Chains A and B, each alone.
Chain A
Amino acid sequence: MSGLQVFLEYTLAGIATGGVYTLVGLGFVLVFKASGVFNFAMGDMMMAGAYTFYLCAVVFDLHWAVALLIAVVFSCALAWLIERTVLRRMMGQPVIAVVMATFGIGFVLRGIAAIAFGSEAYQLPALLPRAPFFIGDIMLPGKSVRGFVLTTGLCGAIILFLRYSRAGIALRATAADQITAYAMGINVRRVFALTWMAAAAIGTVAGVIAASVTSLTPDLGTIGLNVLGVVILGGLNSVGGVIVAGLFIGWLEAMTAAYLPGDIREITPYIAVLAMLMIRPYGLFGTRPVERI
């Protein structure tokens, strides 16, 4: 194989992985934009959704579409519960306390999953056909490509939802100015609950895709922590930035896997974050917060 071909193959595979990052990053940014909460449990919510899918599709042998639907509904309910019992009670507390709480939630979810399912890796049913794709001579893993098509569609749907639906507009209004939104009759609490549920739904789909590309373990949630890099790179409050950054980090990971020795791939996103914090802390597309004193 020629050098160019290797490069292209890894590039496309990386961008396909980046699709999952983009999705999870979107879930993260939605919550951050609306309520200002850094949701460290995002990855673990995604893992919880993937386990529900596994339970429905494999243990109860349901059709994959039904299983996915049940998983989405379940994780929405879980997110609602989390928002209601933890986050809402912590409104007005210092930011670091809220962050610690979301971190705690993540640990609880992961612990419960590991108690219930053990730490073995499960294989999800062949939701996405394995047959590889060929573009000219370049071979692409079939699961990743189909996963990428799915994530692209979903990202598009989310953007349209944010732009045109009533709930999406309410969400953006809340993100822009909470108090004014409240004064204009937007039910801010409901918006918070909605964003958490939306994030959980997106996370579930991302989780199922990620788990069917590799395998399902309680550690699936660490992808959520990788995604922090994506979010920082794109800018914490930028939907467009997250899409670009997600694909970029996926590509960067594939490149380190291809050209650098060892498994530096594992820590690529974190190195990218630290570099980014040094150069442009508010991200490529994020806005520097303006503060009134």
Chain B
Amino acid sequence: MRATRHRRALAAVLALLALLLPLYAPTQWIYLCSLLAINVISTVGLNIVTGYTGLLSLGHGAFMGVGAYATGYFAIRLGLPFYLAIPLGGVVAAVLGLAFGLPSLRIRGLYLVIATLSAQFILNWVFNNWTEVTGGLNGLSLQPAAAFGVVFDSDARLYFLCAVPAIGLSLFAANLFRTRVGRAFIAIRERDRTAEVLGISLVRYKLAAFALGSFYAGIAGGLMAYFFRIVTPGQYQLDVSVFFLAAVVVGGMGSIAGSLLGAAFMTLLPEVLRLLLDVVGQFFALRAALILVPLRETVFGLLLILFLIYEPRGLIRLLRRVLDRRGAAPPPPLIASLSSKQTR
């Protein structure tokens, strides 16, 4: 109980700090923090699917794109305000996620990976070619979000627009895993046959987890649409899916706090790489602009591999280990399957 109370206090303090931040931080930071808030939502969503339920999705980027395009469409064509357009975008992403996930989630095995990968490519093709709705290569341009006389056009206001849903959705996810549904997700990840014997409908809960993850992706995409005020096909390609997969693995599969860490790490990483290239570029004649993108891909891939081999439970586990050594916190309950040996 004490641990829970501490964690609640910690979460409350963090949330308060997060909301006060724009009053004091420089603009560049606020920009990054807004991006971070969006990335947190998407990472938490993928963590629900991959980290908690043990299903691998490679189409997360495309589902964010669906959210972004749907939000843009609702806002521009139907004139809906952002507080309706974004949730509706999430719903559209969830429904499409279900459509792609349904056939493969009926059967056991890695078929969801392939179905989601197919979804990634097919949806990207649709973003490019369904010009009437998506605007093709030009994409969609949005007006700034506005409601009740407030226009979300400054950096600080945009930050609030992103941070409030990020905090809300993270708390929702954290609490989900105290409930019957959340426990069922974990049971499926641990050993799906056993879960089935215990009376958990595999298909229903897998679909629920996948739809929920896609919903989070859709919300993140909708916020991104308002954040950049433009939606183009290039924003939601396969590398985005890998970005969030890396965020989940680096932060810690099966941990909401881990998702925060992972999202923060992955949001800052490109900035750090850019700085590094600037420094190195002074000594060598590098075409920094050309190298940055493939360098990012390489580093994302390496992080994925290294964390999977050496610390499959991510930064959050490393952090807890450091804290434990000081005797500050009790050891967290072990999640069996992510660390123990398990046969196929």
Q: Are A114 and B308 in contact (CB under 8 A)?
A: no
Q: Is B337 interfacial (CB 8 A cutoff)?
A: yes
Cβ contacts under 8 Å, B111 to chain A = 232, 277, 281
The interface bits of chain B over 301-334 (1 if a CB of A lies within 8 angstroms of the residue's CB, else 0) are 1111100110010000000000000000000000
Assembly CA distance A100 to B58 (angstroms): 9
Nearest CB in chain A to that of B242: its residue: A107
Assembly CA distance A145 to B18 (angstroms): 62
- Which residues of chain A in 25-83 are interfacial with respect to chain B, using CB atoms and an 8 Å cutoff? 36, 38
Q: Is B40 interfacial (CB 8 A cutoff)?
A: no
Cβ contacts under 8 Å, B121 to chain A = 225, 266-267, 270
Q: Is A104 interfacial (CB 8 A cutoff)?
A: yes
- Which residues of chain A in 99-117 are interfacial with respect to chain B, using CB atoms and an 8 Å cutoff? 99-101, 103-115
Q: A36-B344, A99-B56, A262-B129 are in contact. Are A225 and B308 (CB under 8 A)?
A: no
Q: Is B259 interfacial (CB 8 A cutoff)?
A: no
Q: Are A108 and B122 in contact (CB under 8 A)?
A: no
Q: Are B122 and A94 in contact (CB under 8 A)?
A: no
Nearest CB in chain B to that of A96: its residue: B56
Partner of A108, one of B114, B302, B312: B302
Q: Are B294 and A218 in contact (CB under 8 A)?
A: yes
Q: Are B117 and A225 in contact (CB under 8 A)?
A: yes
Cβ contacts under 8 Å, A115 to chain B = 291, 294-295, 298
Q: Are A281 and B308 in contact (CB under 8 A)?
A: no
Q: A96-B110, A273-B115 are in contact. Are A107 and B103 (CB under 8 A)?
A: no
Q: A115-B298, A119-B290, A262-B129 are in contact. Are A293 and B309 (CB under 8 A)?
A: no
Q: Are B118 and A104 in contact (CB under 8 A)?
A: no
Number of interface residues of A (CB under 8 A): 49
Nearest chain A CB to B56 CB, angstrom units: 4
Cβ contacts under 8 Å, A293 to chain B = 193
Q: Is B16 interfacial (CB 8 A cutoff)?
A: no
Q: Are B309 and A86 in contact (CB under 8 A)?
A: yes
Cβ contacts under 8 Å, B118 to chain A = 229, 270-271, 273-274
Nearest CB in chain B to that of A92: its residue: B341
Nearest chain A CB to B335 CB, angstrom units: 11
Cβ contacts under 8 Å, B104 to chain A = 277, 281
Assembly CA distance A97 to B290 (angstroms): 31
Most chain B beta-carbon contacts within 10 A, residue among A118, A271, A277, A289: A277
Cβ contacts under 8 Å, A104 to chain B = 242, 246, 300-305, 308
Cβ contacts under 8 Å, A278 to chain B = 103
Assembly CA distance A182 to B290 (angstroms): 49
Question: Could you tell me the dominant secondary structure of chain B's interface residues?
Answer: helix
Assembly CA distance A278 to B308 (angstroms): 32
Q: Is B245 interfacial (CB 8 A cutoff)?
A: yes
Q: A92-B343, A101-B305, A267-B125 are in contact. Are A110 and B297 (CB under 8 A)?
A: yes
Q: Are B304 and A111 in contact (CB under 8 A)?
A: no
- Which residues of chain B in 264-312 are interfacial with respect to chain A, using CB atoms and an 8 Å cutoff? 287, 290-291, 293-305, 308-309, 312
Q: Are B298 and A112 in contact (CB under 8 A)?
A: yes
Nearest CB in chain B to that of A293: its residue: B193
Assembly CA distance A291 to B111 (angstroms): 17
Nearest CB in chain B to that of A266: its residue: B125
Nearest CB in chain A to that of B297: its residue: A111
Q: Is B54 interfacial (CB 8 A cutoff)?
A: yes
Interface size class of chain B, counting residues whose CB lies under 8 Å from the partner chain: 35 or more
Q: Is B220 interfacial (CB 8 A cutoff)?
A: no
Partner of B337, one of A36, A94, A218: A94
Q: Is B188 interfacial (CB 8 A cutoff)?
A: no
Nearest chain B CB to A62 CB, angstrom units: 27
Q: Is B338 interfacial (CB 8 A cutoff)?
A: yes
Q: Is A90 interfacial (CB 8 A cutoff)?
A: yes
Q: Are A90 and B309 in contact (CB under 8 A)?
A: yes
Cβ contacts under 8 Å, A266 to chain B = 121, 125
Cβ contacts under 8 Å, B58 to chain A = 103
Q: Are A99 and B114 in contact (CB under 8 A)?
A: no
Q: A100-B308, A111-B301, A270-B121 are in contact. Are A94 and B342 (CB under 8 A)?
A: yes
Q: Are B342 and A92 in contact (CB under 8 A)?
A: yes
Nearest chain B CB to A107 CB, angstrom units: 3
Q: Are B54 and A96 in contact (CB under 8 A)?
A: yes
Q: A96-B50, A115-B291, A262-B129 are in contact. Are A38 and B110 (CB under 8 A)?
A: yes
Q: Is B249 interfacial (CB 8 A cutoff)?
A: yes
Cβ contacts under 8 Å, B56 to chain A = 96, 99-100
Q: Is B100 interfacial (CB 8 A cutoff)?
A: yes
Nearest chain B CB to A153 CB, angstrom units: 30
Nearest chain B CB to A226 CB, angstrom units: 9
Assembly CA distance A90 to B56 (angstroms): 17
Assembly CA distance A270 to B118 (angstroms): 5
Partner of B103, one of A36, A96, A277: A277
Assembly CA distance A270 to B103 (angstroms): 14
Assembly CA distance A273 to B113 (angstroms): 12
Assembly CA distance A106 to B309 (angstroms): 16
The interface bits of chain B over 120-131 (1 if a CB of A lies within 8 angstroms of the residue's CB, else 0) are 011001000100
Q: Which residues of A contact B (CB under 8 A)?
A: 36, 38, 86, 89-90, 92-97, 99-101, 103-115, 118-119, 218, 225, 228-229, 232, 262-264, 266-267, 270-271, 273-274, 277-278, 281, 289, 291, 293
A–B Cβ pairs within 8 angstroms, 22 of them: A89-B309, A93-B342, A95-B344, A96-B54, A96-B110, A100-B308, A101-B305, A104-B301, A105-B305, A107-B298, A110-B294, A111-B298, A112-B294, A115-B291, A229-B118, A262-B129, A267-B122, A271-B118, A271-B122, A273-B115, A281-B104, A281-B106
